Chains A and B, each alone.
Chain A
Amino acid sequence: MPQTPRAPHAYQSGTLARIVDGLRYGGGIGQWSWLAHRLSGLGILFFLIVHITDTFFVVFAPDWYDHTVAIYGGVWFDGHYYWPLRWAFRVAELGLIASVVFHAINGVGVILYDLWPKGSLYRKPILWTVQVAFWGIMLVTTPIVLYPLRKAPDQPAASRPAPPPAGVASVVPGR
């Protein structure tokens, strides 16, 4: 497997030096996949912490929950709709989806390499397949996620008094 050789270098103490060394170029697509896997994993973890916190609202403050999700849709605390807010969250949402899709596909590639007996013969093909699958999926997903941005949401959530239509009144049957 071709690798970029790098000269041995003197050990330098200090956190910064170690971080810089950790980011030094090591070997082609493997290096970049490793970096993307690490950054996407840490990004998803950060999102997950936020998401567990906002979902915690459902058990003790339904109105907080609805307000929080409304912000994700561009409706601020004052009940007004601000399109940049919605755009920002949409783009971030796309980033989250891309992170999970990449991390998942590349993770399966890592698992194949490590746990499939022949995996180690196919490291480069696996890494390139990961790239093709990732970009293919994102090519389809990106328009789906961004398409609704072309117009403002029909009814901003906060200005919606509508009572449930008859027959839908009990959304939580069988309790």
Chain B
Amino acid sequence: MTARSTGRRIRPSGGYELFMWYFMRLSGLALVFLAVGHLFIMHILNNVETINYAFVASRWTAPRTGWIWRLWDASLISLAVIHGFNGLRQVLYEYLSAGGRIVAGTVTWALTAVFIGAGGYSILMFQPDEGFIKEHPLKIERTTEISSASAPPASQPISVAR
């Protein structure tokens, strides 16, 4: 149950609910970095008018940094989906009786699996469609030239970090 005057959920006495109570807090700390950082990069440094397929491709397949962005996005999705659906489950439990809780618990965990699966698939299985990128290139010049010391051959001069 929630202690409304302190504005948060009271620590459960044990078991599954206690584990999820800690999970909400620890994943929350990680999400401050992952989610707020993601929003800052995508909505302040860039925005929906510059983001397109070529942008996503350049980010996920950048030669040295691509794996970092994929790891970032995969961690963000996994933690946020579990955290969000578990939060929804906890809210639903407050309003449901025993039978309804079984349904709500099953459905929220099933949706958790579906959305981590879909998100993880997009991020990890992504293969750039070069033809499409040629026809619909990046909309921005926000390209970071790799320093000449570590630069790849001149035919491939551009790395787009974000």
Contact = CB atoms under 8 A, between A and B. Distances in A.
A48 B122 contact: no
A34 B122 contact: no
Contact of A56 (B48, B95, B118, B132): B118
A162 B130 CA distance: 16
B137 A171 contact: yes
Contacts of B6: 1, 30, 113, 123
B103 interface: no
A96 B47 CA distance: 13
Given A26-B4, A56-B118, A171 B36 contact: no
A99 B81 CA distance: 16
Contacts, number: 178
A148 B5 contact: no
Contact of B48 (A27, A34, A48, A89): A89
A171 B160 contact: yes
A59 B121 contact: yes
Nearest to B33: A104
Nearest to A154: B49
Interface string B120-135: 0110011111101110
A55 interface: yes
A45 B88 CA distance: 8
The prevalent SS among residues of A at the interface is helix
Interface string A19-51: 100100011111101100110011011001100
Interface string A83-111: 00000010001001100110010111011
B147 interface: no
A168 B87 contact: no
A69 B115 contact: no
B39 interface: yes
Contact of A148 (B39, B47, B128, B137): B47
Interface in A132-175: 141, 144-145, 148, 153, 157, 160, 162-164, 167-175
A121 interface: no
B84 A48 contact: yes
A48 B25 contact: no
B134 A169 contact: yes
Contacts of A33: 7
Interface of A: 1, 3, 15, 18-19, 22, 26-31, 33-34, 37-38, 41-42, 44-45, 48-49, 52-53, 55-56, 58-59, 62-63, 65-66, 69-70, 72-73, 89, 93, 96-97, 100-101, 104, 106-108, 110-111, 113-115, 123, 127, 141, 144-145, 148, 153, 157, 160, 162-164, 167-175
